[in-house]
Structure 1
Amino acid sequence: MEFDRAGADALMDIVARPEVVFVRGEGSWLEDHAGKRYLDFIQGWAVNSLGHCPPQLRRALETQAGTLINPSPAFYNQPAIELAKRITGASCFDRVFFANSGAEANEGAIKLARKWGQLNRNGAYKIITLDHSFHGRTLATMSASGKAGWDTLFAPQVPGFPKATLNDLDSVRALIDADTVAIMLEPVQGEGGVIPATTEFMQGLRALADEHNLLLIVDEVQTGFGRTGTLFAYQHSGVEPDIMTLGKGIGGGVPLAALCAREAVSCFAHGDQGGTYNGNPLMTAVGVAVFDTLMADGFLQGVQERAKQLSEGLLALCEKWGFKGERGAGLLRALVLDRDDGPAIVKAALESSPEGLLLNAPRPNLLRFMPALNVTQDEVALMLTRLDEVIARVRS
């Protein structure tokens, strides 16, 4: 199959894409238009929690597509009820609103917190977020994000998002005033470089929120649904947030996200929140299939075992090449390089022959790894071997 340059040019140019068209995938592997295979340790940016085209998702889609696709969110449907019941039963939350993307879920969290502030804190609206955070690409979620340069892109920004520093409780405390309604953070900053919030910081935020009658919001779009080795990342620190957002892995590859809240915070009035496709049975049926797979005996234990293998392998590369270390939680990990050749390593890995390797460099001196949660021991070992070879080529 030839690469269709004219056809590709019909797509809006929003990112520098290589001239590769992926045509099929299975598990941890993709195949392009020329028949070349790639070991995928990006998985749609932590979206494909069970890898490419898992049979559970195919069955769920086929079965649900033959019965009911979208009756409108103005009516109940059984898959949405089933998925909401599973999430609330496995978490500290009581209510779930389903959305289509992590950014939409975070936008909903911002709205819910501000509505709660109108009702409970004299109209307080500010949400303290963190430098280097990433919460999405809508105007409000870009404003909430601490990504460099986003404070002027598409200006004017949405006001009300003062920025503190991750793992620095005093920096958060200093920003609290009468207009503050919530604190919002990722338990692990993914785009910011795979930097985990410490247990002490998470517990300190919970105590600070309680002291000042604020809401604690966790953005688990990237960390939720098993990515860190527990079902939700907040569970590592023993805190109970007031609001949580989910996306990416919850749908295993289809557009699905969720806004979760405790009963006392679920204050939307009828008409405050909605969306044409939200909670449709086709997507939520897939979410049920993903959830049930993750909760099967031994699955999360397997995530923890592969995380240990990946971490130890990356540390061995650090020792060999003089890198600065590795970090992360579960199967969301980063390798901290000793120079800014991350993009060159990513490019060389993609172009490797006869099989390619898909990696991500969110920072020039950093490689990020987001494999399928059911990646095998052999696939992790193969990736580490291939990565070592690619580094040797780039640095020769």
Structure 2
Amino acid sequence: NIVSAIILIVIMVAIGYNLPLMGIAISLDYDTWMIILGVYILVASVAPVWILLQPRDYLSSYLLYGMIILAIIGIVGASIMGAATDLQIPAFTGFVASNAAFDASTGQQLVDEAGKTITNKAAASGFLFPALFITIACGAISGFHSLVASGTTSKQLDKEGQAQPIGYGGMLIECVLAVISLCAVGFVWSKYAAGGYASPTAVFADGLSQMLACIPGLADVQGLAYALLILAVSAFCLTSLDTATRLARYMFQELWTPVDKKPEELTGVHKFMANPYVATIITVVIGIILGMTGYSIIWPLFGAANQLLAALALLAVCAWLGNAGRNNKMFFVPMAFMLLATLTSLAITFYQKVTTIMTSGIALAPVLQAILAVLLFVLAIVLAVKGVKTIVATAKKQKASSAE
């Protein structure tokens, strides 16, 4: 029963919020949480979709809708009360962005007592192109989402026609969320620009909770609203963990499954490594090790890698539609643009890391990032060339057939 499930969610949230207020708190260190999450995603990623993933995501959507409703109430309320009528965010700050903190009124960079530049940890630095499209495009096109659509979403559809409203509707909701996020940043711009936040999530929750507190009668709900907004964001981060693990397991199994064989025909090492449980355990262990030893070493490449995968997904669908004799011309421009943007990003990353190595010496992070950037760049070129050849060959074959 959906109503009962929602009521239970509300009760659990209320209990969790009030326990610390009553002096009861559960505090675990980082490594312990990593192990707990590892056990969770190990179970969740091998369980059938209908047992956990589908109902959990469905119920989590109510947290999302609740968060959006709270945000809209806060934005409208703060605007009516005159507290959000002057959101001072610079329209353009230059072609090259910096993550250094600065005074929002004077534009001067802030430094500490030792004269060192203060870093705005919630901000990002880089060139306007391609960083703008690598960042924003994730809301409209994403390689990870293409894997989700093929690996899990497709299994929850009754018919193909349901894909369009779900995909397009999801994009519209994310657009609304993007505008809400912009309002949140604008409301706390001075603190944000001065480096007063440790993460984008904190900026989002603090900005919206402050807006809600501007409404008469809601001045005391800022703490509760902040906690609920953080919870909603965290819930969706959690849903991504086991979904990503499930998809990684699929791909790991495919690596050990020859093209000309079915899974049930595998023997020896191939059969062992392609086993769902073995593949899942290996995937989870690698993820937990990265989480405990420093995922930040490879995290800077996530944006480019994700958008590159999106470009290759467009390439694959374009080739498939062409081979099926259907119109695929609508893919040409976005596919080419995404390839250009992501390859440019990888080239810039490689140049920056090599420069760092030459000036500061050899270190693990820049060396590994430079190597991965080259590998991604080369693999993308190889796949792009093969894909374009397939598209061109198919088009020529169809043109010849129609001429006959």
The alignment's TM-score, normalised by the length of structure 1, stands at: 0.30
Higher strand proportion (structure 1 or 2): 1
Hey, which of these two has a bigger chunk of helix by percent? Answer: 2
Bigger-Rg structure (1/2) = 2
TM-score scaled by length of structure 2? 0.29
